[in-house]
Structure 1
Amino acid sequence: MIMENEDYEDWRGRKADTSKHGGVIAAGFTCVVEVLENVVFLSNAINFVAYFMKSMHYPAAEAANMVTNFMGTSFLLTIFGGFISDSYLTRFKTFIFFCILELLGLILLAVQAQYSKLQPKFNERPSKSQAVFLYFGLYAMAAGVGGIKAALPAHGGDQLDHGNQRHISAYFNWYFFSLCTGGLISSTVMVWIQDNEGWKLNFNISIGTLSLALCIFTAGFPIYRLKRPGGSPITRIYKVFASAIRNRKFSPPPKTDILGESSSARTTRGKLRFLNKALMDEKITTAEVEETRTFLWLLPIFASTILMNCCLAQLQTFTVEQGNMMNRKVKNFMIPTQSLTMFPLIIMLASIPLYEHFARIIGAKQRTSGISNWLRPLKRIGIGLALASVSMAAAAVVEVKRRKEAVNNGAEISVFWLAWQYLLLGVADMLTLGGMLEFFYSEAPDSMRSMSTALSWCSTAMGYFISSVLVTIANSISGAFGRKWLAGHGLNHGRLDLFYALLCVLNFLNLLNYIFWAKRY
């Protein structure tokens, strides 16, 4: 595939010049910005539960649900941000708009944290006006996060030559590295600030950090190449579906070749043939049918990754609860509970340079700008899904050991026993999420890259929501047979090991489902 220069413009709206616009440096701006943006998002998300409980006086269960809803909404709104980016604004303008929106939300939260009149009295719930102020700031921030995470990775990918898949792959790996770097800073430095200096300083630092990210991103405008928005893809998909249904009784016209069609379109041309009946309508073009077909064929891959994110949800819920009941002392230092998430982040940060080194060795041996079959996104996602199943098996074994020592001997085993599930899930996340970002960007129709990339984040959100559903179902079924696996009176009285075993089996079955669809892509 050649670079589609006719679809790109510079900041003045003129045709982009490949000698002046785009390239590795322009893509690198997005990686730096992602570090800062993710520091802001995760540092607040990690400790919102404590803030809602201690400052806003919400009950623990309600505070936990508020955080879950905030994170799920943030990730689900990436679809909306991607739609705006693909349809009406360039990804550059989309980032600026949603970054300002997130800043607005942070400022409102900071103002509320600064002034006692905007906070409830001791042991009282917030008044309606205080709750409205809180929720307005919280969900303005969530909407901003959704737009940023949809537009930013796609904007970075737009800066590179789409004919060199190895460069695209390397970019998304280092983008994921930046994501993890921001997470590591959040779970260490920012957690310490929140615990020792309070929420007022935390919000002020978050505002300054996000403002810096906005300034850095904007500073690159002279060298960016900007993808022109192509109108609403949802409208085009609806038109194709409506036309195909209207003409379902007619034979479709002969297949027409498309000059310069993408590799993803050529891959899916023989699939979902019923859409060809939309071509009976003279207002529907072959390109629109192929765009619809390509996007729809991405959805089974997307659906196959959701269950893996249920496993990741455990790292912020039950795994943290396990850590609280284990020995967290390292000499005279007690590891903070919120900082347990640093373990998978460190593993992911270490795995990405190793992966890139391995990829360069293979590329050098092949002497090609392409990538090895084993490094292609679909293979990487598959390996990640397999490791997710293995990680849950390891987690079940560790929980059996922890519970046995706690119940029989009253002893606490070292928190570093959790390293097995952190290691396996960390590598699985690096392969799966990194592979998804690259796959959905590279295979998506040119006019839907932001929306398609957003599918990666939607998979994360749906994984968190489904995790809660699985807990409810597991408790209902196990309770009918005598004792709930995940009762509310402590892990030592439950059977978290059986829940982990259930996730292991479900993820293995999901892997088989993924292989079915991946082989047919």
Structure 2
Amino acid sequence: MEGRGDREEAQSPRKHGGWITFPFIIGSFGCTSLASGGWLTNLVVYLIQEYNVKNIDATLISNVVSGCFSVFPVVGAVIADSFLGSFSVVAISTSISLLGMISLTLTSTIQSLRPQPCDHNNALIPCSSSPSNLQYSILYLSLILASLGAGGSRYTTATLGANQHDNIKDQNIFFNWFFVTLYSAFLVSSTAIVYIQDNISWGWGFGISLASNAIGLAIFLLGTRFYRLDKPRGSPFTTLARVLVAASRKRLTTPLSTTAGNDDGYYYGEEHHVGKVVVDGVLTKSFRCLNRAALITDGDVHLDGSIAKPWRLCKVKEVEDFKTLLRIFPLWSTSIFLSVPIVMQGSLTILQALTMDRHLGPSFKIPAGSFIVVVFISTTTFLAIIDRFLYPIWQRLVGRLPRPLQRVGLGHVFNFVGMIVSALVESKRLKVAHAHAHHLDGQPEAIVPMSALWLFPQLVLVGIGEAFHFPGQVGLYYQEFPTSLRSTATAMISLVIAISYYLGTALIDLLHKVTRWLPDDINQGRLDNVYWLVFVIGVINFGYYLVCATWYKYQNVEIAMEDDSIIED
């Protein structure tokens, strides 16, 4: 495979990599994920209880922070691909995350960094204590540093880990373990650390996250001598821009024949131009207007075959790489509205849980921020079931493993089915709340006599959907993207989540302002209508996905899977 050979040339000459790097990469990633989950999962409750922020406002702030948490992986990936490489970005980002955790821990332990606490048990005493500008500034700086550090390393770690292996089977195994580790770490942080925050102190909870971050950085650095390092090649986005500019400047030039293997007037590289090697890549008929970027005209090439005018001539492979991004963009866009329901449900479920009976037995009360752990348990469990049972059965019945687009499609289905269940459960919760309205009036935190365990089925369905579509998307992008954009490829799912957080936040804010569905007291609202609206959006998006998936043709996935099948045979 040509793309894999390109990556081999870009690697360090030292013969490193392989499974010996696995415990260092996954161990470090597990610790840093535990740290980030320890503050992100319970952020809504922290803002409400410690900073006296209103419920809906706390949800909006949490979504914005989560969006930043998902944008920064893209920034880290671009820097890794263009300038520093994956290893340096992970090391620097983990250090920045450590600074953020130190600052956040200080906000929870030094009273002067927070507003005066309110009496949440007495509705007759209004809470007028709001954070000062300085307190908000320190809080936001802490959240930015923690988000920048944890986000910057997350999917770059996935790329670093995958780059340690040479075949798609080992890479897919790594990606599965990557997500198992991610969700397992969030499972622990959403239960043990959240319980400590709610029942012991926020200082201890954030302090444990701080210690976990420090341990993760140490583990990562201990494995330095075993890693196979990827060598950045300069900004790949400059190359993409060159394709557009060159094609535009030659828009009036008539392309020649694009028959494969012929010396057809297109530029394949300086070696081929002087007759030394075979053609590297073949121009396709799709997006034919871009082929002009590789068309050789007078003065474009030096006598030695090198490009004389970089903004007038590109290699055929560079043109085809750009086409690959154009082909995959519609599929990528379908993932945005696949993730919007997930991010909305994550924050709204916490508000639901705060109004429901969260007791397990006479004394234990489930923290509201821990309910998202059901998604992590569901995803982790079904990742194992899918990998060990479902996919082998599928292979025996069909003769091959399911393709990434099939996995993502199943994720769509489970996602909007989860929204149906969410709407039905919320309708039942509202009926119970209205039936007991006379008992709830005047209570600041009105508890509906309905078990919060009713929220579990919808979260389980969302988790099953994530077990299908997240690994499917990461595997698809990693294989299909140009080799110069490997880190960016694995971060594309994070960019999707970031956009989804911002769209989800905008939608919640819009519904809060123009409808009565989302008041501060959700017992007086219609959260079920919000879920039905998101369900309709999900169904429409699924139809769009089916159209995109039908028209898409794999570039590298089929070849890689065939190669692995030959190796196994």
What is the TM-score with the length of structure 2 in the denominator?
0.80
SS at match of 1:412: strand
Q: 1:95 corresponds to which residue?
A: 90
Q: Give the whole-Å Cα distance in 2 for the aligned partners of 1:260 and 1:126.
A: 67
Q: Give the whole-Å Cα distance in 2 for the aligned partners of 1:87 and 1:246.
A: 26
C-alpha contact (below 8 Å) 1:315/1:341 kept by paired residues: no
Q: Deviations over 1:220-264 (max 9, x none)?
A: 2222211211110111111111222222232234436668999xx
* Aligned amino acid, residue 457 of structure 1: S
Q: 2:155 corresponds to which residue?
A: 150
Pairing partner for 2:187 from 184, 187, 196: 184
Q: Which moved more, 1:212-221 or 1:130-139?
A: 130-139
Q: Which moved more, 1:45-54 or 1:461-470?
A: 45-54
After superposition, the Cα gap between the structure-2 partners of 1:489 and 1:129, relative to the gap in structure 1 and judged at 3 Å, is closer
Segments of 5+ residues of structure 2 without an aligned counterpart are: 118-127, 262-267, 269-276, 301-309, 438-447, 553-569
Instruction: Give 1 or 2 for the bigger CA radius of gyration.
Output: 2
C-alpha contact (below 8 Å) 2:356/2:452 kept by paired residues: yes
* Aligned amino acid, residue 15 of structure 1: P
C-alpha contact (below 8 Å) 1:36/1:213 kept by paired residues: yes
Q: Deviations over 1:477-499 (max 9, x none)?
A: 6x4xxxx33334423x3222222
C-alpha contact (below 8 Å) 1:108/1:137 kept by paired residues: yes
C-alpha contact (below 8 Å) 1:99/1:214 kept by paired residues: yes
Q: Deviations over 1:344-391 (max 9, x none)?
A: 21111211111111256349859xxxx965522111001101111111
Pairing partner for 2:522 from 490, 500, 510: 490
Report whether the alignment pairs 1:305 with 2:335. Answer: yes
Offset, 1:7: 3.6
SS at match of 1:230: coil
C-alpha contact (below 8 Å) 1:385/1:432 kept by paired residues: yes
Pairing partner for 1:139 from 139, 144, 149: 144
* Aligned amino acid, residue 82 of structure 2: S
Q: Which moved more, 1:354-363 or 1:166-175?
A: 354-363
SS at match of 1:245: helix
Q: Give the whole-Å Cα distance in 1 for the aligned partners of 2:61 and 2:389.
A: 42
* Aligned amino acid, residue 134 of structure 1: L
Q: 2:208 corresponds to which residue?
A: 205
Q: Deviations over 1:392-449 (max 9, x none)?
A: 1122222222222332366733322222211211101111112111111121111101
Q: How many residues align?
A: 501
SS at match of 2:321: helix
Pairing partner for 2:349 from 319, 333, 346: 319
Residue identity over aligned pairs, in percent, reads 28
SS at match of 2:166: coil
* Aligned amino acid, residue 250 of structure 1: T
SS at match of 1:236: helix
Segments of 5+ residues of structure 1 without an aligned counterpart are: none
Offset, 1:120: 5.0
Report whether the alignment pairs 1:167 with 2:204. Answer: no
Report whether the alignment pairs 1:513 with 2:518. Answer: no
Q: Deviations over 1:177-216 (max 9, x none)?
A: 1110011011111012212332322333222211111121
SS at match of 2:517: coil
Q: Give the whole-Å Cα distance in 2 for the aligned partners of 1:473 and 1:412.
A: 30
C-alpha contact (below 8 Å) 2:21/2:226 kept by paired residues: yes
Q: 1:15 corresponds to which residue?
A: 13
Offset, 1:322: 2.4
Q: Which moved more, 1:345-354 or 1:249-258?
A: 249-258
Pairing partner for 2:325 from 284, 295, 309: 295
* Aligned amino acid, residue 220 of structure 1: G
What is the TM-score with the length of structure 1 in the denominator?
0.87
* Aligned amino acid, residue 531 of structure 2: Y
* Aligned amino acid, residue 240 of structure 2: I
Q: 1:271 corresponds to which residue?
A: 286
Output the aligned Cα RMSD.
Answer: 2.9
* Aligned amino acid, residue 251 of structure 1: T
Q: Give the whole-Å Cα distance in 1 for the aligned partners of 2:370 and 2:21.
A: 33
SS at match of 1:249: coil
C-alpha contact (below 8 Å) 1:9/1:226 kept by paired residues: no
Q: Deviations over 1:38-57 (max 9, x none)?
A: 11112101233344455455
C-alpha contact (below 8 Å) 1:9/1:225 kept by paired residues: no
SS at match of 1:184: helix
C-alpha contact (below 8 Å) 1:27/1:157 kept by paired residues: no
* Aligned amino acid, residue 319 of structure 1: T
Report whether the alignment pairs 1:345 with 2:386. Answer: no
